[in-house]
């Protein structure tokens, strides 16, 4: 599967934004997927993940209760709805996919090595 992220932009502190990751190929629904982000001069960090069916979702503590990951397999789309954005959310956001598993409690979800397909990033900038 090939992935392309979009929807980034410049917003104010407290605003909302929705990112979209479009997948190509007829096997999109066989992939577990995730969002990661990378701020300048920082390591790429995990944001959220979702199983192939969408039945299970996992979040980093820093975005829990503010961000929602979802997917529409009929449209080959992965989403990240971001509410109450903060300046520290500023980063390039990447979508990623794996045909592997995320683990019973999602313990594999935060690991970059879990994913073997990555999209190009989309910039999100939150001004204070």
Q: Is the pLDDT of residue 90 over 80?
A: yes
* Torsion sign (Cα): 89, 16, 64, 27: negative
Strand order in the sheet with 77-82: 2-6, 17-24, 77-82, 67-72
Q: Is the pLDDT of residue 31 over 80?
A: yes
The number of beta carbons lying within 10 Å of the beta carbon of residue 59 is: 21
- Comparing C-alpha atoms, which of 48, 93, 92, 89 is closest to residue 71? 48
Q: Which two tokens stand for residue 77?
A: 């789309």
Q: Give residue-wise pLDDT tens across range 42-86.
A: 999 999 999 999 999 999 999 999 999 999 999 999 999 999 999
- Comparing C-alpha atoms, which of 77, 24, 34 is closest to residue 57? 34
Note the pLDDT of residue 26.
Answer: 77
Note the pLDDT of residue 2.
Answer: 93
Please give the biggest Cα pair distance in the chain: 42
Region 33-39: mean pLDDT is: 98
Question: 127: which strand partners?
Answer: 12
Whole-number Å distance between alpha carbons of 36 and 58: 12
Note the pLDDT of residue 122.
Answer: 98
Region 115-120: mean pLDDT is: 96
Phi then psi for residue 71, to 5 deg, are -150, 155
Q: Is the pLDDT of residue 121 over 80?
A: yes
Phi then psi for residue 114, to 5 deg, are -70, -25
Note the pLDDT of residue 25.
Answer: 81
Residue 41: band (very low, low, confident or very high) from pLDDT cuts 50, 70, 90: very high
Helix (H) or strand (E) holding 111: none
Q: Is the pLDDT of residue 1 over 80?
A: yes
């Amino acid at each position: 599967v090939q992935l392309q992220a979009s929807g980034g932009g410049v917003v104010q502190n407290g605003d909302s934004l929705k990112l979209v990751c479009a997948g190509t190929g007829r096997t999109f629904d066989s992939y577990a997927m995730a969002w990661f982000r990378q701020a300048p001069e920082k390591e790429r960090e995990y944001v959220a993940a979702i199983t192939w069916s969408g039945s299970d979702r996992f979040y980093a503590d820093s975005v829990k209760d503010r961000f929602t990951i979802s997917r529409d397999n009929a449209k080959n789309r992965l989403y990240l709805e971001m509410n109450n954005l903060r300046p520290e959310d500023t980063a390039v956001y990447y979508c990623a996919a794996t045909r592997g598993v995320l683990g019973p409690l999602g313990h594999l979800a935060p690991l970059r090595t879990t994913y073997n397909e990555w999209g190009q990033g989309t910039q999100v900038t939150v001004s204070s």
